[in-house]
Amino acid sequence: MLFRQLIDPESSTYTYLLGDPATRQAVLIDPVLEQVERDLACVHELGLVLTHVLETHVHADHITAAGVLRDRTGCQVVASERGAVCVSRQVKHGDEVHAGGLTLRVLATPGHTDDSVSYLMTDRVFTGDTLLVRANGRTDFQNGNAGQLHDSITQVLFALPDDTLVYPAHDYQGRTETTIGEEKRHNPRLAGKSREEFIHLMENLQLPPPRKMDVAVPANRACGRALPSALDVPPERIDALGAEVRHIDVREPEEFHGPLGHLPRAELVPLETLESACASWAREAPLLLICRSGKRSARAARALAERGFLRLYNLQGGMLAVRGDSTGTAR
């Protein structure tokens, strides 16, 4: 196997390149947007063809290169079924990813984030932010859970042979690898600590948020691509959008049928049901999002953008504006 460990110095993120010498197929794990040219040059220099990008989770400290690499190479993007919906293949615990003669088995290891996975390949495991060298990922955002992280490490990763090599997504002291056995013995957050002690420690770290989190998380839910923004449309411009635009009203039924009424072509899809309802919709279909004041519909537009919808409009001021009540006194 061809193997390279690459680093993004700004975020201290490790990217891993794995290549099958027989078929020349290659995998990149956790690539960083700013390092696309470097990574593609490395693939080319080694005579490889990139067939897969594997994500360990939706990252908060850098923007992934997954979407750009897929556009440029046609590779598959693989991530947890609980993560970004823009990926080519969503995987769960026990699934396998094959690239030529390489086989990587998916291990569900939530806790740092709820979508965290690790990838096991023969003598090594790629652990993302779940298990680091003498540390582990934080648990205070993106549905993190300290108890769940402890279980993922001690019951899933520590069940691997002691000599299994561990390759994390980060290290901030220049360390490049560890082993399962080393972390069992020497990880200060885990060795000799109970589950309750671990949870107490993790819940009291008081770390500042990652610097890029507000940008990175929404971008990474779109595979690193800039999310399309919904165009605000005033009520008088609704007809100009044309008949092909679906009108999606995300209010509750009692509002839809209440005093403010609804647009003649409106389809009632309450916001809490939008995620499941949109699964069968064409991603290229134009959608006008509607609510009472324009705030919930803006949230709905953002959620749809994260799921790959490209042509989104938001009714500016909502049904209050349609009825000429910008003060919000209508009920």
Q: What distance in Å separates the CA atoms of residue 7 and residue 232, rounded to the nearest whole number?
A: 41
pTM for this predicted structure: 0.74
Q: Quick one: CA dihedral 184, 158, 207, 205, positive or negative?
A: negative
Say if residue 331's pLDDT is above 70.
no
Top-tier CATH class for 231-322? alpha beta
Number of C-beta neighbours around residue 241 at 10 A: 15
If residue 213 lies in a helix (H) or strand (E), which one and from where to where? helix 213-220
Say if residue 327's pLDDT is above 60.
no
When mean pLDDT is compared across 84-98, 208-222, 311-325, the lowest value belongs to 208-222
Pairing of strands 117-121, 49-54: unpaired
**Residues whose CB falls within 8 Å of the CB of residue 19, separated by 6 or more in sequence, listed in order:** 1, 2, 3, 25, 26, 27, 43, 46, 48, 102
Q: What distance in Å separates the CA atoms of residue 152 and residue 158, rounded to the nearest whole number?
A: 9
Q: What distance in Å separates the CA atoms of residue 284 and residue 287, rounded to the nearest whole number?
A: 9
The Cβ-side half-sphere exposure at 197, using a 13 Å CA radius, reads 7
Q: Are 106 and 94 in contact (CB under 8 A)?
A: yes
Fold classification of 2-220 (topology level): Metallo-beta-lactamase; Chain A (3.60.15)
| Residues 272-303 pLDDT 10s | 999 999 989 988 889 999 999 999 999 999 88
Sole residue written with tokens 């020349």: 24
When mean pLDDT is compared across 51-60, 149-158, 224-233, the lowest value belongs to 224-233
- Residue ranges per domain, the chain? 2-220, 231-322
Say if residue 15's pLDDT is above 80.
yes
